[in-house]
Amino acid sequence: MIRLLIVDDSALMRRFLGRIFEAEPDFEIATARDGAEALQAMSEFRPQVVTLDIAMPNMDGLACLDRIMVEHPCPVVMVSALTEHGADETLRALQMGAVDFIPKPQGTISLHAEELAPLIVERIRAAASIKVRTSRRLAERVRFRAGPQTPRSPSVRAVTSSSRTDARLPDDCVVLIGASTGGPPALDAVLSALPEGFAWPIVVAQHMPAAFTGPLSRRLDKLCALSVVEVTGPTPIEAGTVYIGRGDADVLLTRRNKVLTAISAPADPEHRWHPSVDRLVRSAIDNVPAERLIGLLMTGMGNDGAAAIAELRALGGHTIAEAKQSAVVWGMPGELVKLGGAADVIGLPHIGGRLLELAQWR
């Protein structure tokens, strides 16, 4: 049985989520009305996964998350309003250790139940299987427990395949990044390692709603030396800039007057997740020689991007998969490795450095 703790000050929302999981045979459910009740339930119920609202009285979701990650670390999924303010707070929560988020239903909740229930169950079930890394918030956790010894934080080493190449790549390469669950902090880690004036443009397909990709791009722009922008219309791409695909749409590369341009296209219903990594990579293959493309697939559920990036490698492009040791969910990069499509399999702390190696940064 999967022990799920639902934390929300709205009785309606607690009932909505409760009914969804009561219909599942492998879930045991407890509820809490605010952060204070949640912390008590963490000790008594000992959940394997938590859904956590952000705006609550007495103790809000961010303060509660902070305590959970120090005192009772386990996978936490934020329940987020589809607003800019809700997006900013959710991104903060992901940085603090939450593993995923689900958007709150808009309008009459009952009208969305049948549509949302399978997706919510899938996300929570996947979150419950995530092993929260013990290195996160380690020093604070040790102080809380007042233990006599300080455990050593495990490191994540780079793991690369024997087929890796250190040959200089062309000056006009394009880096394509795909990510889903756990992606925002992973993007922060990779992009923050790259200096201002990095040789290549970077185009990102991060699975997210439209309300979140604007705040994500602005957050990354503040944290990184590179310029980070959201693709909302036709945008010629330039070296040293990161282009975040708009949520609920697909980001593609095309040629306009011979200039390589990122565009935001309506979501293709043949692809389940958006922005679609598969669709981004295939549009790049159609417009840029494969040897000038680098495909990077990071943490996320499912297999989006794996087939297209494997195809890119077969055509002569360079490809990287995030290693299992560092990925929050090794679904997408793991599928790429299974297909033999990863030239490099690298732990998250080393991916930025590998991009610099490939660029022969001086």
Each residue's pLDDT tens digit, 110-126: 556 677 899 999 999 99
* Model confidence at 86: pLDDT above 90: no
Quickly state the pLDDT bin for 338 (edges 50, 70, 90).
Answer: very high
Start-to-end CA span in the chain (Å): 54
What are the structure tokens assigned to 296, written together?
A: 């990077």
Among candidate residues 333, 346, 2, the one with its CA nearest the CA of residue 180: 333
Domain(s) labelled CATH 3.40.50.2300 in the chain stretch across 2-145
Please report, rounded to a whole number, the percentage of residues in the chain having pLDDT higher than 70. 88
Position 170 scores a pLDDT of 80
State the Cα–Cα distance between residues 309 and 120, nearest whole angstrom.
Answer: 28
CA gap 22, 17 in Å, rounded: 9
Q: Which residues of 35-72 are buried (b: 16+ CB within 10 A; e: fewer)?
A: bbbbbebbeebebbbbbbbbbbeebbbbebbbbbbbeb
Percent of the chain with pLDDT over 90: 80
pLDDT at residue 134, as a whole number: 54
pLDDT band at 160 (very low <50, low <70, confident <90, very high): low
pLDDT of 94:
95
In this structure, what token pair is assigned to residue 50?
């938590």
The residues annotated with a catalytic role in the active site are 180, 207, 304
pLDDT band at 15; cut points 50, 70, 90: very high
Please say if the pLDDT value at position 356 is more than 50: yes
Please say if the pLDDT value at position 143 is more than 60: no
Q: Is the pLDDT of residue 227 over 80?
A: yes
Q: Where in the chain is the domain with CATH 3.40.50.180?
A: 159-358
pTM: 0.89
Residue 260 banded pLDDT, cuts 50, 70, 90: very high
Q: Domain 159-358 in CATH: superfamily?
A: Methylesterase CheB, C-terminal domain (3.40.50.180)
The pLDDT-based confidence of 235 (bands split at 50, 70, 90) is very high
- Encode pLDDT of 170-219 as tens digits: 888 999 999 999 999 999 999 999 999 899 999 999 999 999 999 999 99
Q: What are phi and psi of 341, to 5 degrees?
A: -95, 5
Task: State residue 169's pLDDT score.
Answer: 81
Task: Determine whether domain 2-145 maps to CATH 3.40.50.2300.
Answer: yes
Q: How far apart, in whole angstroms, are the C-alpha atoms of residue 167 and residue 146?
A: 50
Q: Which of 100-114, 208-222, 313-327, 338-352 is predicted with the least confidence, judged by mean pLDDT?
A: 100-114
User: 168 exposed, middle or buried (CB, 10 Å; 0-12, 13-18, 19+)?
Assistant: exposed
- Residue 336 · residue 169 · CB < 8 Å: no
Q: Which of 225, 202, 143 is nearest to 358 (CA)?
A: 202
